[in-house]
Structure 1
Amino acid sequence: MGKKTDIDWSKLGFDYIKTDFRYISVWKDGKWDEGKLTEDNMLHISEASTVLHYGQSSFEGLKAYRTKEGKVQLFRPDRNAARMNDSCDKLLMPHVPEEKFIDAIMQVVKANIDYVPPYGTGATLYIRPIIMGVGHNIGVKPAPEYIFTVFCMPVGPYFSGGLKPCKFIVQDEYDRAAPHGTGKQKVGGNYAASLQAHAKAAKDGYADCIYLDPATHTKIDEVGAANFIGITKNNEFVTPKSSSILPSITKYSLLYIAEHYLKMPVYEREVFVDNLDEFKEAGACGTAAVITPIGAIDYEGKRHVFHSETEVGPTIKKLYDILYGIQLGDVEAPEGWIYEVK
């Protein structure tokens, strides 16, 4: 993409762009070093690193937003810190203290501040923290050393053509995670396990596939790499409850918004795939898209249409507008949700 001054904000996709600085810190001999910013976007690690052989790694994704007044702010980075540490517990990696996690993100955003897209462009600065096992180790055991790194890049709006419903297919021959496995953690292996199913869905003309619970294949777990939300005909906000669903920060934010801003009853419960007709609207939510409206789900040769295959439902639109408005500083946020980058 070249220099930041050359960026056409209106033409950004979700692609890697090398920005000026990234943060790196090393855990060795039982402690983290102070960490530093570097211009080097290449990692130098041992060929015996556990991240390469055994997938000992976790990552997060969050964004920096520029407000109408020109301020730059983060959305709930403390929740990303907590979720990364939950992943670290699962994979026997050292915690990244919340203070260190947020400080690293602040440093990276400030060092690349000119890459934060202007308000009104629909573009944002995407931030990717990663922790991985490195060092010389060939046995199946936790690594002797770890790298925590954070990089960022400007990305375009997820909906280049506006907020449009997408269609999905239930593929119950694939699981993204095992019962009591790593489905609740944001670890690299979950995404490697999803590539084949996604490729098949895309080839068949769908935005992505829907995964059912791995134990019984009767309940909705995730929609591709996102969480499912549904609006019932009784105007309730519902999202699945399962031991193999990633706890989406966007989902829990929408649960709060539905209850406190829209005064809706909210439920986190099992969502049976045979009972999709209880929903009048549906969506997939996550950091990248906020909400992808679900127009239709195909399951066992039948199509279930929500609201419309071409128009966004009114409640999904309201939820999207409020959450994105909070992130951009246009809607008042609940206390503690916004961190200003100064």
Structure 2
Amino acid sequence: MGSAFRVVRSAHTTPEAERAAILAAPGFGRYFTDHMASAVWTPDAGWHERRVGALEPFSLHPSTAVLHYAQEIFEGLKAYRHADGSVWLFRPERNARRFARSAERMGLPRLPEADFLASIEALVRADEPWVPAPTGEESLYIRPFMFAAEAFLGVRPAERVVYCVIACPAQPYFSSGAGGVTLWVSTTYTRAAKGGTGAAKCGGNYGASLAAQTEAERHGCDQVLYLDGTDEEGHVEESGAMNLFLITSRGELVTPALGTILEGVTRDTVLALAPEFGLTPVERPVTFRELRASVTDGTVTEVFAAGTAAVLTPVTGIKGEGYAFTIGSSEPGKQTAALRERVLGIQYGRVEDTYGWLRRVLGP
């Protein structure tokens, strides 16, 4: 099976002056590059029609399976420009493997890791001028996705599947940056259950989270803190689209165990870096009652969320029905800030990558 993505350059690329204006203030997910990568799967031909071409709309029949049965998955990763002008990806192999696991859970065909990596690299090369030269934390956000493209009504795995990669220049996901966010503990909504799709990165998980996010915003919070039940006796799971971490006075870095939550790439990165900062990584269940009591008595000194889009985001406060409490002094913690700087330092080439996490796409 080949993994070469033939490039057919768009005849209508964004003018340089317009692109420069976008890159000066891209926001997040608002503007897209000139090209997209794509491939098609059918049972008889497997993966074929690999190409990079102009960014363009899909034409879908009203009965297209994804519109009715949500058979879809996606990933999120970034390309970073270093000071010497080179462009790098950060641990894309882990995204490729998670993409394959998500596909299996959602009854979609497995995309070979070589195809996943080749499609992303081909798109980044085609749209290299869109990779920002960072003045802060700008990057090129990359969104690979796969969906059931067969036109039919019937509950079965689709026999025509489309894979695509698009990209957008991006600033930090939260406007507060490293300043911290407040979480709302939802006792109305849960995000996943044992045996469900919580460990898969599929659109349905995020669609189901929108009502909970609206609830959080209505209470003046930035994100949701999900429990595995609808009362405060439940276990802590995730913060919106991010994994959650607790730093304790005993020098532990605690994060909820996998099973019903997403196996985040940034999550794994932070766990690997923890010993460098004198922290012992611990993956175990954490009840909300334990979290609240440990913050109150000072056992938990810092809380942060981690994800590709948000990097490491300090959690400075938690609210729920009839209560609110702050984390530490309600300011971002020193160890959270140090971990955040280390992750960003590796990604942007400011510190040595001793783990072999970076993958060069362009440049010296």
Q: Give distance in 2, aligned partners of 1:207 and 1:220.
A: 17
Determine the structure 1 residue equivalent to 2:241.
Answer: 225
Superposition deviation, residue 173 in structure 1? 1.4
Determine the structure 2 residue equivalent to 1:97.
Answer: 112
State the secondary structure of the residue aligned to 2:188: coil
Q: Which amino acid aligns with 2:34?
A: D
Residues 56-71 of structure 1 mapped to structure 2, 5 A cutoff = 56-71=71-86
Superposition deviation, residue 333 in structure 1? 1.8
Q: Give distance in 1, aligned partners of 2:160 and 2:100.
A: 16
Percent of aligned pairs sharing the same letter: 36
Work out which of the residue numbers 103, 123, 127 in structure 2 matches 1:108: 123
Work out which of the residue numbers 194, 203, 221 in structure 1 matches 2:218: 203
Structure 1 contact 137–144 (Cα < 8 Å) conserved: no
Q: Are residues 1:185 and 2:204 paired?
A: no
Q: Give distance in 2, aligned partners of 1:118 and 1:95.
A: 34
Work out which of the residue numbers 314, 324, 348 in structure 2 matches 1:328: 348
Superposition deviation, residue 174 in structure 1? 0.3
Determine the structure 1 residue equivalent to 2:181.
Answer: 166
Q: Which amino acid aligns with 1:319?
A: L
State the secondary structure of the residue aligned to 1:33: strand
Superposition deviation, residue 176 in structure 1? 1.4
Determine the structure 1 residue equivalent to 2:314.
Answer: 293
Provide, for residues 169-216 of structure 1, a one-character-per-residue CA deviation record: whole Å limited to 9, x for no partner. 101210112321000000110001100010111122100111101498
Q: Give distance in 2, aligned partners of 1:128 and 1:115.
A: 15
Determine the structure 2 residue equivalent to 1:319.
Answer: 339
Q: Which amino acid aligns with 1:283?
A: F
Structure 1 contact 63–75 (Cα < 8 Å) conserved: yes
Determine the structure 2 residue equivalent to 1:125.
Answer: 140
Q: Give distance in 2, aligned partners of 1:307 and 1:129.
A: 38
Provide, for residues 101-141 of structure 1, a one-character-per-residue CA deviation record: whole Å limited to 9, x for no partner. 00000001000000000033421100000011111221100
Out of 146-155 and 233-242, give the one that drifted further.
233-242
Q: Are residues 1:18 and 2:29 paired?
A: no
Work out which of the residue numbers 247, 254, 271 in structure 1 matches 2:270: 254
Determine the structure 1 residue equivalent to 2:3.
Answer: none
Provide, for residues 307-329 of structure 1, a one-character-per-residue CA deviation record: whole Å limited to 9, x for no partner. 232x2110000110000111101
Structure 2 contact 191–228 (Cα < 8 Å) conserved: no
Structure 1 contact 49–143 (Cα < 8 Å) conserved: no
Determine the structure 2 residue equivalent to 1:282.
Answer: 303
Structure 2 contact 251–278 (Cα < 8 Å) conserved: no
Q: Give distance in 2, aligned partners of 1:40 and 1:22.
A: 5
Determine the structure 2 residue equivalent to 1:36.
Answer: 51
Out of 329-338 and 284-293, give the one that drifted further.
329-338
Provide, for residues 268-318 of structure 1, a one-character-per-residue CA deviation record: whole Å limited to 9, x for no partner. 111111112231100111011101110011234222321232x21100001
Q: Give distance in 2, aligned partners of 1:186 and 1:4.
A: 35
State the secondary structure of the residue aligned to 1:118: coil
Aligned pair count reads 340
Q: Give distance in 1, aligned partners of 2:327 and 2:56.
A: 44
Q: Give distance in 2, aligned partners of 1:173 and 1:120.
A: 41
Q: Which amino acid aligns with 1:318?
A: A
Superposition deviation, residue 157 in structure 1? 2.4
Q: Give distance in 2, aligned partners of 1:2 and 1:20.
A: 7
Q: Give distance in 1, aligned partners of 2:286 and 2:111.
A: 34
State the secondary structure of the residue aligned to 1:129: strand
Q: Give distance in 1, aligned partners of 2:229 and 2:118.
A: 38
Q: Give distance in 2, aligned partners of 1:46 and 1:303.
A: 49
Structure 1 contact 10–156 (Cα < 8 Å) conserved: no
Out of 237-246 and 143-152, give the one that drifted further.
237-246
Q: Give distance in 1, aligned partners of 2:32 and 2:267.
A: 30
Q: Give distance in 2, aligned partners of 1:46 and 1:99.
A: 31
Q: Are residues 1:234 and 2:246 paired?
A: no
Superposition deviation, residue 156 in structure 1? 1.2
Question: For structure 1, which runs of at least 5 residues remain unmatched after alignment?
Answer: none
Structure 1 contact 134–146 (Cα < 8 Å) conserved: yes
RMSD: 1.8
Determine the structure 2 residue equivalent to 1:141.
Answer: 156
Structure 1 contact 10–121 (Cα < 8 Å) conserved: no
State the secondary structure of the residue aligned to 1:229: strand
Superposition deviation, residue 15 in structure 1? 2.8
Q: Are residues 1:27 and 2:60 paired?
A: no
